[in-house]
Structure 1
Amino acid sequence: MVDQQRLFDEFIELIKTDSETGDERAICDLLKGKLAALGFEVVEDDSAEKTGHGAGNLVATLNGTLEDAPIIYFTCHMDTVAPGKGIKPTLKDGYFESDGTTILGSDDKAGLAALMEGIRLLKEQNIPHGKIQFVITAGEESGLMGSRHLDTSLVDADFGFAIDSNGPVGEIIASAPAQAKIITTIYGKAAHAGVNPEDGISAIQVASRAISKMRLGRIDAETTANIGFFKGGTASNVVPEKAEIISEARSRNEIKLKAQVKHMEQTFKEVAEELGARAEVETRFMYPSYKFTEEDLVVQKAIAAVEKIGRTPKVTVSGGGSDANVMSGYGFPTVNLGIGYENIHTTSERMPAKELVKTVELVVALIEESANVPAKGAEVTP
């Protein structure tokens, strides 16, 4: 079914279009033209005014040929991590790779290419379908900035699928954690480190003592915590009066997440007080968790589509967040799907050609299977 040469050519075109997060204008304009040529009505929202990124999110809508089918949507992101400028992709021994000086950008341009090829097949083969929307976000790699500022009034879907996870085609991420970012500043007291260190209070020492008392790493099967950034001091002969720490906690159980955050906040504050320092702690809850089971329609449709393309479904969980978290939090049930890319966010990233082709098949199967259920408000028989 898949026109492999057309798919591969478009994938390479997308990869060669620079789109590091924050600088999405070129890829956004390219996608606008491609989607319009496929018959979509394309709207760019005003999120760039809030995020400062190079483009807003795209919400593209394709009218259906079936009036009573549910409205489904797919989401991918248009941005990549750095180093992602001047990418030189090659196809060798069944894998797309860069030249080793940059990332490849299959995260998430493999998803974008698969979506557009899937729509071409839909049209060429006159496959009946309901209304379809694409939500293509900017700034996903900058903490899901695009989706967090999405104009949700543009989305009118019953459920959907994020085409944006590692693992082979067939993996269905039915649950992923919420994330909290904890920004801490420790204020101590400066003094000369050689003349009168006893008169100072080292903010670095306070922060280190607090961190040593924390539960970090793998907390339990659903929960993790990490110290990601630590900065302090000005010179070796000055007792540092200030230290900055950025940490995070994640959990698929939001009660556990709040408990872990409270533990980290209190530890910073209590240790600072004990040592005569002061801790200012700000916590930002970045995105919600989501959790679906095989009783949920969105998972059932994903399973049916995977089986339709000859793969064995694997319903699993993730420790990372994606636009699926944010979209599910908005009330659009969404699962994230494996598309096979490997070693993402590194210069050894690669994309198996066979998985790219299989992702296109999956997109078409998802559209077909999703059309086989009643529309919103109708009675659904499990």
Structure 2
Amino acid sequence: MVRTERVIQQFMELVKIDSETQYEREIANYLLRFFKKSGLTVLEDNTAKHTNHEAGNILAHYPGNTKKESIYFTCHMDTVTPGKAIKPRIQNGFICSDGTTILGADDKAGIAAIMEAIQLLNEKQMEHGDIYFLITSGEESGLVGSRYFNEKSLPVKYGYALDSDGEVGQIITKAPSQVKLYATIYGKAAHAGVSPEKGISAISLTAKAITNMPLGRIDEETTANIGSFEGKGPTNVVCEQVLLIAEARSLSKDKLDKQVKAMTKALETTAESMGGNVDIKTEVMYPSYCFNEEDQVVKTAIRAVRNMGIEPATATSGGGSDANHLSGKGIPTINLAIGYENIHTTSERISTDQLVKIPELIIEIVKEVESI
């Protein structure tokens, strides 16, 4: 059913549209035109006023022609940097950039697949319920589009994010929550040559606190990492302030709370022992999700993958996606692998074989949705 050349050309056209995160206006306008031309009801929400991005989320509705459960598919319109003036090319069966930019398969491979699936639905006679397509903005800026998305505008039973690496057929049934930790560490300034003993180095304090933190792979469900810490000043002054940014992730809320507490305690106790102070703020970036093969959202995907002649594989992700926020808002959502590789680098690529399989998977999922 899938028209190989059409999918490839559509993808190549999409990646040429600049859409680095925050600057999504051009790609948003392109998608609004496509959805309207294809006969779907489409709107752009008002989340841009909360996210400070050029565009909000786009929600399109493809009305059903029979009584089947309503479902949705989602992917994001923004890319990471460097993503301007992308020049895609096909080399040895893979689509890649010229090496000076990313490719943008994350997540324009998902968008191209949705566009092909809509064209197939328009061309073929098949029974389906209501289908919604949610294209988010700001995914690469901390999932902000889905964070502010109003789930009441999406009247569906469950859905799928098209936004994971791995070969088509892999189903991400679990993904962790993330908490960001922001700390300001205060020491005491003093002349570094005349009277260093009168000072308290915020840099030394921070370094010692970090060595007391459990970091890296904590267990099979939990990780933690220091992103950066920075203390500025001349070498002849004992540094009196450091800014630290860190994160923790876990599939388990209890384990996540424990990890954040351990990192906080390391900072507080070290500051106390050295005579400094610390101000710590934490923020939950997104919730976790966890489904099993008995959940309808997973069962439908497994049947669809098998219809393609592929043996499905369930997996756990260490990262977050829009599926985290949308599941957290009460809409069961899992992430599906769509075949892109080396994302967020100038070596990013996707094979043409994988690209063509994504719209096929969408159509097979639509077929497998149960009747009401």
Band of TM-score, shorter chain: over 0.9
Distance 1:73 1:326 in 2: 14
Indicate the percent of aligned positions where both proteins have the same amino acid: 53
Contact kept in structure 2, 1:119 and 1:364, CA below 8 Å = no
Letter in 2 for 1:77: H
Distance 1:126 1:193 in 2: 78
Distance 1:374 1:124 in 2: 22
Give the equivalent residue in structure 1 for 2:6.
6
Distance 1:359 1:310 in 2: 14
Shift of 1:35: 1.1
Letter in 1 for 2:188: K
Contact kept in structure 2, 1:171 and 1:338, CA below 8 Å = yes
Letter in 2 for 1:102: T
Does structure 1 residue 299 correspond to structure 2 residue 295? Answer: no
CA deviation vs aligned residue, 1:7-31 (integer Å, no higher than 9, x gap): 1111011100000001000000001
Where 1:208 maps in the other structure, the secondary structure is helix
Distance 1:333 1:219 in 2: 28
CA deviation vs aligned residue, 1:77-98 (integer Å, no higher than 9, x gap): 0000000000000012110000
CA deviation vs aligned residue, 1:35-68 (integer Å, no higher than 9, x gap): 11122111111100001011000111111011x2
Give the equivalent residue in structure 2 for 1:18.
18
Give the equivalent residue in structure 1 for 2:147.
148
Distance 1:108 1:172 in 2: 17
Contact kept in structure 2, 1:229 and 1:245, CA below 8 Å = yes
Give the equivalent residue in structure 2 for 1:65.
65
CA deviation vs aligned residue, 1:305-335 (integer Å, no higher than 9, x gap): 1001111100111100000000000111011
Letter in 2 for 1:177: P
Give the equivalent residue in structure 1 for 2:47.
47
Give the equivalent residue in structure 1 for 2:27.
27
Contact kept in structure 1, 2:151 and 2:326, CA below 8 Å = no
Shift of 1:259: 0.6
Contact kept in structure 2, 1:174 and 1:336, CA below 8 Å = yes
Give the equivalent residue in structure 2 for 1:380.
none
Distance 1:36 1:91 in 2: 30
Give the equivalent residue in structure 1 for 2:36.
36
Shift of 1:32: 0.6
Give the equivalent residue in structure 1 for 2:221.
222
Shift of 1:193: 0.9
Distance 2:238 2:302 in 1: 59
Give the equivalent residue in structure 1 for 2:247.
248
Where 1:233 maps in the other structure, the secondary structure is coil
Contact kept in structure 2, 1:204 and 1:233, CA below 8 Å = no
Distance 2:256 2:300 in 1: 30
Letter in 1 for 2:97: S
Give the equivalent residue in structure 2 for 1:176.
175
Give the equivalent residue in structure 2 for 1:351.
350
Q: For structure 1, which runs of at least 5 residues remain unmatched after alignment?
A: 376-382
Distance 1:153 1:285 in 2: 22
Where 1:161 maps in the other structure, the secondary structure is strand
Where 1:7 maps in the other structure, the secondary structure is helix
Letter in 2 for 1:54: E
Q: For structure 2, which runs of at least 5 residues remain unmatched after alignment?
A: none
Give the equivalent residue in structure 2 for 1:86.
85
Shift of 1:236: 1.4
Distance 2:204 2:41 in 1: 57
Distance 2:203 2:36 in 1: 55
Distance 2:153 2:14 in 1: 25
Letter in 2 for 1:308: N
Distance 1:240 1:76 in 2: 45
Give the equivalent residue in structure 2 for 1:185.
184
Contact kept in structure 2, 1:40 and 1:61, CA below 8 Å = yes
Contact kept in structure 2, 1:187 and 1:243, CA below 8 Å = yes
Letter in 2 for 1:149: Y
Letter in 2 for 1:360: P
Give the equivalent residue in structure 1 for 2:361.
362
Does structure 1 residue 167 correspond to structure 2 residue 166? Answer: yes
Distance 1:103 1:250 in 2: 26
Distance 2:165 2:306 in 1: 19
Where 1:295 maps in the other structure, the secondary structure is coil
Provide the TM-score with structure 1 as the length reference: 0.96
CA deviation vs aligned residue, 1:313-359 (integer Å, no higher than 9, x gap): 00111100000000000111011000000000000000110000011
Distance 1:235 1:171 in 2: 52
Distance 1:38 1:236 in 2: 64
Shift of 1:123: 1.8
